[in-house]
Amino acid sequence: MKNLRVQAKARQAMNSKKIVVVGSSNTDLILRVPHIPAPGETILGGKFLTAPGGKGANQAVAAARAGGSVVFVARVGNDHYGEEAVAGFARDGIDVSHVVIDKRAPSGVALIFVSSRGENSIAVADSANGRLSPADIKRAGAAIREAKMLVLQLEIPLETVCAAAAVAASRHVPVILNPAPACPLPDELLQKVAVLTPNETECQILTGIKITGESTARKAAASLLARGVGAVIITMGKRGAYVATPQEDRLVPGFRVEPVDTTAAGDVFNGSLAVALVEGQPLSQAVRFAHAAAALSVTKPGAQSSAPRRKAVDKFLKTTL
């Protein structure tokens, strides 16, 4: 494992536009079912598979495959799942020198139902993810301060998210926060966020405003901007993403594809968005790039396994102009 870390770190040194992702790593236990079971319902499933996942890990892998130079800050257990996860990150060229092997907690696990329509239902045991601490952030401080972008989610302790955002803010490093799973967030954190990327449900939890279309999305985005967020991107499924800044707002349409599995589509969107923004793409163009990557991801099963390579995203964009 040490050699994998050294090789991945060497590859990262070749690219100065570094993206640091701080977040969770899970192993997904996936069961395909005719429909998502209701409370108390038992149904016979179909194919079962195990795959690497976790919102932080998914976003790190998506960013790396989209062409980013990625450092991942996380915790995994001292077990088979953890070993396989770290080996997978290294194979994707991710710097894993700040992935801590936790000897007191197992690796995180997500139980996922995927319906025949591509919908999913997920429950997560955070395990080692719940032990990612501000002390881990301090140890990774140099990497965060030297980054061009910091990407965060909420499958790790909120105090750790806040600590990472504070380190980034000390060197004016832009922060993308994907507020999932959603919970109330302090304004002190939101004021350090350059781009907030909730989906419709998460946006309602954060603002109390139910998103039913562009008018309600505009109202919710305005509420978040007033709390100090630099830009808001509300992902709205097939309708696209509502993008708002203090200067402008608009709906950026998505791409229509036949979904196979929507697991991690939002993570692929966020990882790819980070790459596009670090490359200097304007916000709306970066969102279109992220839409393309997410659209490709839902045509394949799994989380990290569905994240497309940069060549595929560029080709998709060229053929859909």
**What domains appear along the chain, each with residue ranges and CATH number?**
2-37+45-319 (3.40.1190.20)
Give the pLDDT band (50/70/90) at residue 285: very high
Which residue, 277, 283, 270, is CA-closest to 154? Answer: 270
Shortest CA distance to 28 belongs to which of 4, 71, 62, 57? 57
Beta strands in 46-196 (DSSP E): 48-53, 69-77, 95-102, 108-114, 120-125, 149-152, 175-177, 195-196
Nearest C-alpha neighbor of 259 from the set 250, 251, 268: 268
Q: pLDDT band for position 321 (50/70/90)?
A: low
Question: Considering the chain, what percentage of its residues have pLDDT values greater than 70?
Answer: 95
Convert the pLDDT of each residue in 202-213 to its tens digit. 999 999 999 999
Average pLDDT taken over every residue of the chain? 92
Q: How far is CA 88 from the centre of its chain?
A: 17
267 among known catalytic residues: yes
Inform me whether the pLDDT recorded for 12 exceeds 50. no
pTM passes above 0.75? yes
pLDDT band at 13 (very low <50, low <70, confident <90, very high): very low
Pairing of β 195-196 and β 175-177: parallel
**Residue 74 and residue 47 in contact, taking contact as beta carbons nearer than 8 Å:** no
pLDDT score, position 260: 84
**Long-range contacts for 311-314 (Cβ within 8 Å, ≥24 apart)?**
313/66, 313/272, 313/289
Catalytic residue among 28, 95, 136, 267: 267
* Residue 301 scores a pLDDT above 90: no
- The b-or-e profile of 283-305 (16+ CB within 10 A means b, else e) is beebbbbbbbbbbbbbeebbbbb
DSSP state of 227: T
3-state helix, strand, coil in the chain (%, to 5): 40, 20, 35
Max CA separation in the chain (angstroms): 53
The tally of CA atoms less than 13 A away on the side-chain side of residue 162 is 9
What average pLDDT does this structure show over 300-313?
A: 89
Q: Which two tokens stand for residue 242?
A: 């509502």
Which residue type is seen at 152?
L
Q: Are the beta carbons of 20 and 171 closer than 8 angstroms?
A: no
Residue 300 has pLDDT above 90, yes or no: no
State both tokens at 207: 């603002």
List, in sequence order, every residue forming a beta bridge with 65; answer none if it has no partner: none
Mean of pLDDT values over 121-128: 88
- Per-residue pLDDT of 146-171, as tens digits, reads 999 999 999 999 999 999 999 999 99
